[in-house]
Chains A and B, each alone.
Chain A
Amino acid sequence: AAGVIQSPRHLIKEKRETATLKCYPIPRHDTVYWYQQGPGQDPQFLISFYEKMQSDKGSIPDRFSAQQFSDYHSELNMSSLELGDSALYFCASSLGWGLAGLAKNIQYFGAGTRLSVL
């Protein structure tokens, strides 16, 4: 079965550079979530989109922005990168919550993008 695809898998950037992470959800999934996991930390929710509209927002820095496109893929844009942004970034997708009965809010995660800021 098709899974959540994230690209790139690894990314190395210098401080103050920008980075764009991409996420392709499971076909027919209309909701996308972004999570950040720092070294030795647990995943932290950043932001989510449902039907191309932002549905919830967590502790996402102002330097980060994200959007969901008409084909439901999503991009996380990160500017003025800092050393502390080095982390694993996971994307997850699900069916629109409230529409899927018992499948409500089952999130399927991609393999992640490992961002290293030097």
Chain B
Amino acid sequence: DAKTTQPPSMDCAEGRAANLPCNHSTISGNEYVYWYRQIHSQGPQYIIHGLKNNETNEMASLIITEDRKSSTLILPHATLRDTAVYYCIVAYTDKLIFGTGTRLQVFP
């Protein structure tokens, strides 16, 4: 499975958009990009995933570059409850390999 690189931490003001980048330059053609988050020792929570096209659901949007070497998770209106560690994972097989993630701190 491809390795991902994420900034260790980011801050975001409440109500603003949070844009979390992820680099996955060695991704192969059949690997999906998944985003999960973990709020303080709770079980990781699925957010969104995509293969080539941009995706949007009720939680977030996922923007994947045309060459698929990087992606951005967008939380359109961050709230204090979005404070968490966000993991970008690329995978084809069923196991998830968690990297170090980005610790997002949303402040009032």
Residues of A within 8 A of B (CB): 4, 31, 33, 35, 42-45, 48, 50, 55-56, 58, 88, 90, 92, 94, 97, 104-112
Contact = CB atoms under 8 A, between A and B. Distances in A.
A107 B93 contact: no
Given A45-B96, A50-B94, A97-B94, A111 B42 contact: yes
A45 B100 contact: no
Interface in B61-108: 87, 91, 93-101
Given A42-B87, A109-B45, A112-B41, A94 B94 contact: yes
Contacts of A4: 43
A105 B43 contact: no
Contacts of B34: 105-106
Contact of B43 (A31, A50, A97, A112): A112
Interface of B: 32, 34, 38, 41-46, 49, 87, 91, 93-101
A97 B49 CA distance: 14
A97 B32 CA distance: 13
A4 B46 CA distance: 13
29 contacts: A4-B43, A31-B94, A33-B95, A33-B96, A35-B96, A35-B98, A42-B87, A42-B99, A42-B100, A43-B38, A43-B96, A43-B98, A45-B95, A45-B96, A45-B98, A48-B94, A48-B95, A50-B94, A56-B93, A56-B94, A58-B95, A90-B44, A97-B93, A105-B91, A106-B34, A106-B46, A106-B49, A109-B45, A112-B43
B97 A45 contact: yes
A35 B42 CA distance: 13
A48 to B, nearest CB: 6
Contacts of A107: 44, 46, 96
B101 to A, nearest CB: 7
Contacts of B41: 88, 112
Nearest to B38: A43
Contacts of A108: 46
A110 B94 contact: no
B6 to A, nearest CB: 11
A94 B49 CA distance: 14
